[in-house]
């Protein structure tokens, strides 16, 4: 096997899920496995975790099909945008549709009628993300149409927060839709600026809008869909009113918090360790430059070692002369421009040899640090780890 690989602790993922479930109970838990399980390797993660999840979430229909071909029987919600021509795949592979428009819902009903097959549907409402879904003030026609769809099973209704991870949510929970409405009114009234407590105001406003949509069912004396869900990782942590019937942890399930300032009130830990080995070792003389562009040169006689991993693997070029790795448990600086397939590390006068283990991520090197070195966020760090990096799945309690 290639000496650069990811070690994924499945036992830690299961523990993360159990701790999230305890925190949000009695709500169900949808585990988000999109983007190759946030870079962890869906082929290994999904078969292990699916029996413990109430629902699985993916972004695109191809991800859902892949899970079914892996033998996953757990319900799968395709949360991203879907074109009408993709609808046959939902029927063939028993996938749940996020109906984000009246046209898509109508097309699904017509196909269900013609094929005499039923399809589970979750209505998607846009309460402030401006990405997918009908806006809350345009939701009534969609809901009316859904009530008339006799060939579809209206299983759920959901929205997505734009700022749920903001730390100002902490300690500002509202106990009812009326309290949410009153708080939002205060924030947009004379006593406060619309930008004060921004994340909490916007999330509370989104909750108020979602409640307005749910009230449409009450006005018609119709039961709302049995699964209402709004909470991503941030809201699962900070906004208990948003838990409803199901929560959708993404990055939190993988042991990384969605924002650094959030109080860690759920015990989750990273399940990923990115490992490699020293492939080459040489002593570099003073004044000799290292790698493309000659961005770093030795000031004194020093040992430079080469690691067989580069930006084609997701070890970003932007981390050049900023990143650090662990070799034999000691931290060393990366030096010289990171190459497509390799990068170099300055180990000084230490006796580092070819074959010694190198830790690129994990064991104290955090996703937050890689994000800082790269100038991005933790989500991109995880999901950018390349497909050519082997995933090794272990169970370590």
Residue that has been written with the tokens 């119709």 in this structure? 222
Can you point out the beta strands (E) in 91-189? Answer: 96-99, 119-126, 134-135, 152-158
Contacts 24+ apart (CB under 8 A), 204-208: 204/174, 204/180, 205/127, 205/128, 206/127, 206/128, 206/159, 206/161, 206/162, 206/230, 207/127, 207/174, 207/177, 207/180, 207/239, 207/241, 207/242, 208/177, 208/180, 208/181, 208/184
Q: Which of 28, 34, 124, 275 is catalytic?
A: 34
Among 279, 293, 286, 250, which Cα is nearest to 341's?
A: 279
Q: Is 292 a catalytic residue?
A: yes
CA dihedral of residues 348, 354, 356, 361 (deg, nearest 10): 80
Q: Is 34 a catalytic residue?
A: yes
Q: Which of 22, 137, 292, 330 is catalytic?
A: 292
DSSP state of 168: G
Q: How many residues does the chain have?
A: 397
Task: Give the residue numbers marked as catalytic.
Answer: 34, 292
């Amino acid at each position: 096997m290639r000496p650069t690989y990811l070690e994924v602790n499945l036992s830690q993922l299961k523990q993360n899920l159990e701790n999230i479930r305890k925190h949000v109970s009695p709500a169900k838990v949808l585990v988000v496995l999109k983007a190759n399980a946030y870079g962890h390797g869906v082929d290994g993660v999904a078969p292990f975790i699916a029996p413990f999840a109430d629902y699985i979430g993916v972004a695109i229909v191809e991800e859902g099909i892949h899970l079914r071909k892996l033998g996953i029987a757990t319900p799968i919600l395709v949360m991203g945008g879907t074109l009408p021509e993709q609808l046959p795949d939902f029927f063939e592979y028993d996938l749940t549709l996020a109906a984000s428009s009246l046209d898509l819902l109508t097309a699904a009903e017509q196909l269900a009628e013609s094929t005499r097959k039923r399809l589970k549907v979750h209505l998607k409402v846009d309460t402030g993300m401006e990405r997918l879904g009908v806006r809350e003030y345009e939701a009534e026609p969609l809901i009316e149409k859904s009530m008339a769809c006799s060939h579809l099973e209206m299983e759920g209704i959901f929205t997505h927060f734009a700022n749920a991870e903001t730390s100002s949510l902490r300690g500002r929970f509202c106990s009812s839709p009326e309290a949410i409405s009153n708080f939002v009114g205060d924030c947009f009234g004379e006593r406060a600026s619309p930008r004060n407590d921004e994340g909490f105001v916007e999330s509370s406003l989104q909750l108020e809008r979602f409640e307005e949509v749910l009230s449409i069912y009450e006005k018609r004396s119709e039961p709302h869909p049995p699964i209402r869900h709004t909470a991503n990782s941030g809201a699962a942590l900070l906004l208990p009113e948003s838990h409803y019937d199901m929560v959708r942890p993404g990055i939190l399930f993988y042991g990384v918090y969605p924002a650094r300032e959030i109080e860690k009130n759920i015990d989750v830990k990273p399940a990923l360790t990115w490992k490699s080995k020293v492939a080459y070792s040489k002593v570099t003389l003073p004044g000799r430059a290292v790698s493309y562009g000659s961005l770093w040169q030795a000031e004194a006689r020093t040992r430079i070692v080469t690691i067989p991993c580069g930006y084609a693997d997701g070890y970003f070029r932007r981390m050049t002369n900023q990143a650090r790795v662990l070799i034999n448990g000691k931290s060393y600086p990366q030096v010289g421009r990171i190459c497509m397939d390799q990068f170099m590390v300055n180990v000084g006068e230490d006796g580092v040899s070819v074959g010694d283990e190198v830790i690129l991520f994990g064991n104290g090197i955090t996703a937050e640090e890689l994000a800082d070195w790269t100038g991005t966020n933790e989500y991109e760090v995880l999901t950018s780890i390349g497909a050519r990096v082997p995933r090794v799945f272990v169970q370590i309690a």
